Amino acid sequence: MKAISNHLLEKLAGPAAFQRGKNYYQEGRVVELRSRGKTITALVEGTETWQVTLKHTATVFEGCCDCPASDNFDFCKHCVAAALQYQVGLEQEDQLKNARVKDRLPAYFMTWQKQDLVDLTLELLSNDHSRLTEFRIKADSAAGKMDDKAIKKQITAAIPCNRQLFKYDQVRNYFQTVESVLENLEPLIKSLTPEKALKLIDYAMQRIDRALETIDDSGGFRYHSVELLASLHLDTLGRSALSPEQLAAYLYRLYSEPVSDLYPPIPDHYLAILGAEGQQHFFETIRSEWEILPPLTGTDWDKEYVYRRLMHPLLEEARRSGDTDAQIALHAKIANGFQDYLELSALCLANKQLEQALHWRQRAEKDNKKAYHSKAALQENQIAIWSHTGDYQAVLDARWEQFLGQPSLPRYLAILEVPGARKKDTLKQRALAELKQRQSRAADRSPEKQAALDTQAQIYLHYKQTEDALGLAEKERLDPTLLLRIAKANNQSPDRTLPLFIRVAEFHVNRSDNQSYKEAIEILESCRQQLPAKSIGRFEAVVKALHDEFKRKRNFIKWLEEALPEMF
């Protein structure tokens, strides 16, 4: 084919027509170009839409147009524009032929006409509502049509209410659309004045809050959208021109509404924005509302919610300042049940108010709606009172009672912490003796015996009696986590610890899930690193036996062979 160059086109049309035609091409006036054999036709927009016909052979490149300047004979500016468009198409075809596999599809689309690409894009977007909405927002924004009213309409459309959605995939798709729209609206909202931006953010939060009334989002799909709005809210409020008093009033109004649960915690996350003066206004408003409320009575949760809502920021403020009296007064106003009474008893003790602590304890004891854990909670409160009055023997007796009732290392350590307790060696010997008696009384493999064995091993490890722990592990069935700790603590006895490592690995493999398989292999690798060279042969024999035993667990076998390739 005859080569097409700018020099050739300028020769055919003349310098002036060539330049005007080049301008036409750059302005995108070639709206349609078709090629059939050696003939190329195109439509070029000028004062009217003109039809151009080009002929391209091995020796000839020529053209004409139905405009007056060409009169279907001369090579005019419209011919130049069409020829340049045709020339780009030829170059793109060459690029397609020479493109690597990964570049071939983009190169192919480059040969398409713009309108064809537009048609294809619209067709694909018609089946993807989320992406279609995204591009409509971008198009409206590029056209300068996205003011605050238009943005509000987009938010309304993106967050429909009363949808009654309960299926997992329905809720996920719903909030994926919400998230996509909000991500595209975010830069537009940021470009607005803070006053308009805040109204839109609050509106979006209200829409989500209303939508959740009929949507089961137990999967938490809303969180990304809510976090985006929360971050936008902090940023927008930070750049607003509201005075400290206005900021405090705005945040208090927001805090008083249920929708505030979707925002960052108020006022904690807004303290820097409020500043010292704004914080003072906020807490004065909360305090004034709190002080007009009478003490809480009854069991109406909606009523109690109002009290607790007002109390929360005041309580946090009192904790930050270390004002225990204020904390007690706040709790006393809403004290309405067992847990409240015990909290007050503990606060009074911390504030050296023993009589008041005893008063609230008695209220807790008389409460007829105690929770299932009330006995243990009352016992801890009584221990705190005994500690406060210096009755350490009573504390020690109570701690022993707890340990003997349900032995554990934390309960043993609580015995050691009692002031005035006997020598620790004596306490240890008594604890071990009690545990052994418990083991002898309990049935094999019972929870009672297992708890006693595990606690005995933990006490040995606590005192670094690793040899005793190892002897117990060799004879008894222990928690796998303890077995692993004992094996690692006795690295000087590789022949004795190898079976422990294998027991723990077998435990994980028998759980039959991929994560457990990986944990088993990590344990085996840890074991090999701890073994001396003379024990490697035994290790390999044991691992090969594991390989044969669990050969039906394909993933385990595959990963084991990858981790220890020299053995298989």
pLDDT tens-digit map of 126-171 = 887 777 777 877 777 777 778 899 999 999 999 999 989 999 999 9
Residue 521: pLDDT band by 50, 70, 90 thresholds?
Answer: very high
Residue 97 confidence (pLDDT): 83
Average pLDDT score over the chain: 91
Looking up tokens 């074991």 gives 527
The three-class DSSP label of residue 404 is helix
Highest mean pLDDT among 92-96, 134-138, 316-320: 316-320
Residue 89 confidence (pLDDT): 85
Residue 422: pLDDT band by 50, 70, 90 thresholds?
Answer: confident
Q: Are 434 and 404 in contact (CB under 8 A)?
A: yes
The three-class DSSP label of residue 335 is coil
Give Cβ neighbours of residue 132 (< 8 Å, ≥ 6 apart). Answer: 125, 126
Q: C-alpha distances in angstroms, 112 versus 25, 100, 120, 162, 389?
A: 16, 19, 11, 45, 90
Averaged over 242-255, what is the pLDDT? 96
pLDDT tens-digit map of 345-385 = 999 999 999 999 999 999 999 987 766 678 899 999 999 99
Residue 9: pLDDT band by 50, 70, 90 thresholds?
Answer: very high
The three-class DSSP label of residue 100 is coil
- If one compares 433 and 31, the residue with the highest pLDDT of the two is 433
Q: How far apart are CA 263 and CA 272, in angstroms?
A: 16
Averaged over 409-413, what is the pLDDT? 96
Per-residue 3-state assignment (H helix, E strand, C coil) for 102-167:
HHHHHHHHHCCCHHHHHHHHHHHHCCCHHHHHHHHHHHHHHCCCCCHHHHHHHHHHHCCCCCCECC
Percentage of residues in the chain with pLDDT exceeding 90? Answer: 74
Lowest mean pLDDT among 82-96, 220-234, 480-494: 82-96
Q: How far apart are CA 130 and CA 174, in angstroms?
A: 10
Tokens of 370: 């105690």
Averaged over 455-462, what is the pLDDT? 97
Ranges of H-type helices in 194-259: 194-211, 223-238, 244-255
**DSSP calls for 451-505:** HHHHHHHHHHHHTT-HHHHHHHHHHS---HHHHHHHHHHTTT-HHHHHHHHHHHH
Give Cβ neighbours of residue 202 (< 8 Å, ≥ 6 apart). Answer: 254
Looking up tokens 């979006």 gives 204
Task: Name the strand (E) or helix (H) holding 30.
Answer: strand 30-36
Residue 372 confidence (pLDDT): 65
Q: What amino acid is encoded at 344 in this protein?
A: L
Residue 414 confidence (pLDDT): 95
Give pairs for 148-157: CB < 8 Å, separation 24+: 148/192, 148/196, 148/199, 148/200, 151/185, 151/188, 151/189, 151/192, 151/200, 152/200, 152/203, 154/181, 154/185, 155/181, 155/182, 155/185, 155/200, 155/203, 155/204, 155/207, 156/207, 157/133, 157/181
Residue 107 pLDDT > 80: no
Residue 371 confidence (pLDDT): 66
Task: Name the strand (E) or helix (H) holding 65.
Answer: strand 61-65
Residue 542 confidence (pLDDT): 92
Percentage of residues in the chain with pLDDT exceeding 70? Answer: 99
Residue 132 confidence (pLDDT): 77
Residue 53: pLDDT band by 50, 70, 90 thresholds?
Answer: very high
pLDDT tens-digit map of 388-407 = 999 999 999 999 999 999 99
Q: Are 52 and 65 in contact (CB under 8 A)?
A: yes
